[in-house]
Amino acid sequence: MKPRIAIIENNIIATLTIREKLTQTLIEKGYDVLILTTGKESELAEAATRGYRVVDVKGSTQNPLDIFHYLRNLRKALKDDKPQICLTFTIRPAIWGNLVTRRLQIPTITNITGIGPLFERNNLAYRAARTLYKFVLQKTSRIFFQNFDDLEIFVTKKFVDRKNARRIPGSGVDPEKYQPLPNKRTSRHFQFLFISRLVKDKGIGEYVSAAKKLKPAYPEVEFAVLGPLWNQNLKDNTVSPEELQNWQDEGIIKYFGETKDVRPYIANANCIVLPSYREGSSNVLLEASAMERPCITCHTTGCKEIVEDGVTGFLCEVRNVEDLANQMKKMLSLSPESRMEMGKKARQKVIREFDKQIVIDAYLEAIQQLTQPS
């Protein structure tokens, strides 16, 4: 009988989207998978209809009481289910989940999906995160990094032992799911599309400011935004509903809300823009590239590896509105045929370097190594 596997996720939406193929593959291989996460009732119900076993362990904020309840819920679920191995994703599960699995002596594979401003900010929350990371990762069985920069930082700072660390190509992209689709938009006007949670370190502020600069000269161009308002980050990093409404009222952006399926929106856009400050490995850029859409992003970790400047899109400087606006102008100046060629090269690149099967194979190999009798 195959071992039980517990997966600790921030939100069930990740299981239903970027981790869908990995989860399904594990189940198809005969593993008994339990997902410890939280999310909207409708999304948790959808996971159940797909045959996933899910326990809602609620979320963890910076509130000590929330953290206590989250740890208690994780511990109870893991003690009840008795998995032989655990997978954790993103910062909160990586820290709090690993604390619990360490106490319960459950071998754990942790995916560092990105470090954001972990080493740049010096407030209490990030100082605590650095201390906890260093403590919990010392005993973690395997640590997967989504880019080489993050791996080297953690090794250099002695957060992890190099022999337990490995770089995988992000979450990978499924080229069958993310295929080129026709643009079905009735409007023929050029559309830029920003896709992300609406947090400031994804570059939403720079995108809106660049749109303001370009709008007078290009009144017919659409500057669209797709993604949810988000309250799980520090308050100074989030976009408020009032800010979002003001941008719409001023006629700067067109807001599409949030969705579980980005494909129709990517298909209807001419160019995807993500001026993120830093990523683990951007799923948005991978998915857009696989769908043959040229992208504009920053010359930064987790983005520059995906978009080849001048070949599959354009790179701009981080936090530089002027440079971002200039790259958007360059994209507007290209012929449709040139943009189409960029898109084709983008798909070829991500299939070659970021196929999701590479990621799944890395997990299957690590799971087999950690669960086979010693």
In angstroms, rounded to a whole number, what is the distance separating the alpha carbons of residues 222 and 269? 9
* 233 vs 304, more confident: 304
**For 122-136, what is each residue's pLDDT tens digit?**
777 778 888 888 888
Q: Does the structural domain 191-354 have CATH classification 1.10.3720.10?
A: no
* Strand ranges inside 2-56, DSSP E: 4-8, 32-37, 53-56
Can you name the CATH fold of 4-172+356-371? Rossmann fold (3.40.50)
Domain ranges of the chain: 4-172+356-371, 191-354
User: What sign has the CA pseudo-torsion 149, 12, 177, 263?
Assistant: negative
Band (pLDDT 50/70/90 cuts) for residue 234 is: low
- What are the tokens at 330? 């360059």
Domains 4-172+356-371 and 191-354 share a fold: yes
In angstroms, rounded to a whole number, what is the distance separating the alpha carbons of residues 6 and 82? 9
> How many residues make up the chain in this entry?
374
**For 126-185, what is each residue's pLDDT tens digit?**
788 888 888 889 889 999 999 999 999 999 999 999 999 999 999 999 999 999 999 888
- What's the whole-model pTM score? 0.89
In angstroms, rounded to a whole number, what is the distance separating the alpha carbons of residues 214 and 190? 13
Check residue 123 and give its pLDDT: 73
